[in-house]
Structure 1
Amino acid sequence: MSVTTENTKAFTSGDFHRTYARPVYVKPAKLVHKQVEQAGEHSQFSGERKHPVFFVDLPTQNVSMTIGGLLPGQLTNRHRHTYETVLYVLEGRGYTEVEDEKVMWEAGDAVYIPSWAWHRHQNLSQEEPARYIACENAPQLQNLGVALREEEGRDL
């Protein structure tokens, strides 16, 4: 015979509305990443994506943030991933192709890319770069072991 108390109760699907969690603040190693772009481009990620990418290095476990850029006239590879992405365009104009829909964007716009949707980005200017902030829930899915990314034409 097993004995359970309120704090050690084994939950079932009928207990979805109950929780006995007691959040505790744990001071992270750092709260600010100063001068992100001056810290340098992430060479491996930038090389794979063929455009400059700067990681925001903070101890988040659920969301990530990167600063990305598209060179003048650049069209990225078509790819998809299991995590969601929200892009906030800092400068430039272009489009993001999501599956078979072309979404036009310019500085000040936010673009949503659903999980596992084939997509790619195009900078429409031949003279000026485009820059954006990308926020993704990749760390959360990585911690669960279900974050996948696929480049068109390459195996997982």
Structure 2
Amino acid sequence: MEVTTQQFSSKDFHQTFARPVYVKPEKLIHRNVEQAGEHNQFSTERKHPVFFVDLPTKNVSMTIGGLLPGQLTNRHRHTYETVLYVLEGKGYTEVEGEKVEWQAGDAVYIPSWAWHRHQNLSDTEPARYLACENAPQLQNLGVALREEEGRDL
């Protein structure tokens, strides 16, 4: 694979012609994601189970999040967008003070830098969701930021 080392600036825009090249990643599948175990740091910090999908994507991430019966997470915000797809359970996500109720099969959008938190409305059953975020893209650009109420403020 040929790697370009030339650095471009805005005056060179006309010289940056796309030359896509397939680069085989180290892996294309992460089997049995939840069997790999909770991500200890994030599960503890976010106060609910989090399972990372470990694939070499540089622009989007995917995690499986769980809310224990009756659980309410801390309020937090981040510079990346999130789309939650609810796999099981019933609850709500509070986005900038607005309560958005959800149940299995629903998708919820959390805009960048919006204060939010999640609540499982069942006292007996867990809730689970798939979270897709553009965090890796912003991390690679050096502009990803996350604030947790009670920790950072």
Q: 1:12 aligns with which of 10, 13, 30?
A: 10
- After superposition, the Cα gap between the structure-2 partners of 1:23 and 1:77, relative to the gap in structure 1 and judged at 3 Å, is same
Match of 1:135 in 2: 132
> Is structure 2 residue 68 aligned with structure 1 residue 71?
yes
Q: Tell me the amino acid that sits aligned with residue 80 of structure 2.
A: Y
Between structure 1 and structure 2, the one with the greater Rg is: 1
2:118 alignment partner in structure 1: 121
**Counterpart pick for 2:50 among 45, 48, 53:** 53
Q: Offset at 1:50?
A: 1.1
> Structure 1 residue 47: deviation in Å?
0.7
Q: How does 1:15-54 map to 2 (within 5 A)?
A: 19-54=16-51
1:111-152, Cα deviation, whole Å (9 max, x unpaired): 000000000000000000000000000000000111000001
- Structure 2 residue 144 is matched with structure 1 residue 147: yes
Structure 1 counterpart SS, 2:131: strand
TM-score, normalisation: structure 1: 0.89
Pair 1:87-2:47 in alignment? no
How far 1:155 sits from its partner (Å)?
Answer: 2.6
Report how many aligned residue pairs link the two structures: 148
> Which of residues 59, 63, 87 in structure 2 aligns to 1:62?
59
Q: Secondary structure at the match of 1:58?
A: coil
Gaps of 5+ in 1: 1-7
Helix, strand or coil for the counterpart of 1:45?
A: helix
Q: Which residue of 2 aligns with 1:101?
A: 98
RMSD: 1.9
CA distance in 2, matches of 1:9, 1:47: 41
Task: Report the 3-state secondary structure (helix = DSSP H, G, I; strand = E; otherwise coil) of the residue aligned with 1:105.
Answer: strand
